[in-house]
Structure 1
Amino acid sequence: MGNACEKSTISQEEVPNGRSYGPQYRKNVMFLCNHNSCRSQMADGWLRQLRGNASVGVASAGIVGGTAVKDGAITVMKDAGIDISGFTSDAMADFKPEDFDVVISCCGCGSKLDGDKEAWKKRPVFQDWNLDDPPAIDPGDLSAYRRVRDESKAKVQELLDMLEKPYGPQYRKNVMFLCNHNSCRSQMADGWLRQLRGNASFGVASAGIVGGTAVKEGAITVMKDAGIDISGFTSDAMADFKPEDFDVVISCCGCGSKLDGDKEAWKKRPVFQDWNLDDPPAIDPGDLSAYRRVRDESKAKVLELLDKLSV
């Protein structure tokens, strides 16, 4: 993440095709405002600064149409080390909603996205930030511009944090793999889904019903043999997640019976399956053959799941 105190000159011509968004990015964000003159421009500048190496494309536009970037916005962003003086003020009509995964109404103007504009509100993620309009309220010392600039930065960082998660509303469907301790079977299933989903919009996470311990070395080894690196995966507790964030819940180890009481909500998601895979650490003879068998069984089940979810 860049330091906002360092000078950062951001060009609208950032990529070979001359666009700062597109299929070269994993996710694309559109910031909308009435005229693309202030709030959406500041948010656009912040995202380019804060995304670091994250593959997130960005553009901004005016719902009514582009006018010009406000001098006040340029000044306060420059004070924060970000040069948006070369940004253009563009009209939403010059963009296509299907090119964006995330649409942010910066000014509470989501109500204007009706009729033939409604497609913008139907992207996977739509948020209405309702930031104040600095030109309308600034007393002349740019204090309103600075406040909204800083509020915009905080919201952009929250958005980037959300997009970096392997699951969430940015995906069409989200899958949770559960096991007792999130150490082997659920980790392998998690790795397989990330590998096999291709460009399909499926988010994924895995967790331990009892709690996370550590990813088993045997699981790391046999998945690496299959070309999948799960060595950087963390072993997490189910208690750190919310069932309502997931459309599909898979009990990898036959541990569905433990999902009772306050945990029962996990079994009541739209899809719940209990795969009842064997526990490799408990049965492996020492040659990783049990790990490999369960790895391959897990792959087959993940492929079946993806086929079902793709319908």
Structure 2
Amino acid sequence: MKQRVLFICTHNSARSQMAEALLRNIAGDRYEVASAGTEATRVHPMAVDIMAGRGMSLETHSSKTLQPFLSQDWDYVITVCDDGNEACPVFPGGKQRLHWSLPDPSSVQGSEEQRRKAFEQAARSIEKRLRVWLAASPTVS
């Protein structure tokens, strides 16, 4: 049985979306993966662009609220921002809770190049954390 992983951030627009795509890409079909936000907005166009450059499409992704996921069981609930962690100190159905404090790339002001670098850095940070976490996690059958 696949282990289930839910990534949470504030708007489900960048960090949690990238984490969902990256885990699918790195781990293949070993996990059932989803992402949600305490508020839903839209998937940030820069997140879509950065992930496309890494060979992962977010084109069909949409921003989702937590509501549909609250009644489900999750092996891991991973918050990827401080606001998401504060808004969900306890998550019903979450067996293991992890928090990764990652800066919000969409909050970076400046040129397009500066904003792009922030999103690229976020993707690199998420990928690094995922690889460390996967190396330490029990093997999934």
Residues 233-263 of structure 1, C-alpha deviation per residue, up to 9 Å, x if partnerless?
xxxxxxxxxxxxxxxxxxxxxxxxxxxxxxx
How far is the alpha carbon of 1:100 from its aligned partner? Answer: 0.7
The whole-number CA distance in structure 1 between the counterparts of 2:118 and 2:32 is: 28
Deviations 1:274-301 (A, max 9, x none): xxxxxxxxxxxxxxxxxxxxxxxxxxxx
What pairs up with 1:108-257 in 2 under 5 angstroms? 108=82, 109-114=84-89, 118-120=90-92, 123-139=94-110, 140-141=112-113, 142-165=116-139
Match of 1:111, SS? helix
CA drift at 1:88: 1.2
State the match for 1:46 in structure 2.
Answer: 22
Instruction: Rate the CA distance shift 1:164–1:62 in 2: closer, same or farther, 3 A.
Output: same
Are residue 33 (structure 1) and residue 9 (structure 2) matched? yes
Counterpart code for 2:77: V
Show the 5 A alignment for 1:230-309: none
Greater RCO (Cα-Cα under 8 Å, separation 6 or more): 2
Q: Secondary structure at the match of 1:164?
A: coil
Equivalent residue number for residue 174 of structure 1:
none
What's the offset of the Cα at 1:138?
A: 4.9
2:35 corresponding residue in structure 1: 60
Cα deviations across residues 170-225 of structure 1 (Å, max 9, x unaligned)? xxxxxxxxxxxxxxxxxxxxxxxxxxxxxxxxxxxxxxxxxxxxxxxxxxxxxxxx
Q: State how far apart, in whole Å, the 1-side matches of 2:119 and 2:16 are.
A: 12
TM-score, structure 2 length as denominator? 0.87
Unaligned runs of 5+ in 2: none
Structure-2 residue corresponding to 1:277 = none
Unaligned runs of 5+ in 1: 1-24, 167-311
Identity over the aligned pairs, expressed in percent?
27
Report the CA distance between 1:161 and its aligned residue: 2.5
Report the TM-score when normalising by structure 1. Answer: 0.41
Moved over 6 A (4+): none
Q: Distance in 1 between matches of 2:100 and 2:35?
A: 14
**Helix, strand or coil for the counterpart of 1:158?**
helix
| Aligned partner letter, 1:158 | V
Q: Distance in 1 between matches of 2:61 and 2:126?
A: 17
Deviation at 1:105, TM superposition (A): 0.4
Partner of 1:16: none
Aligned positions, number: 136
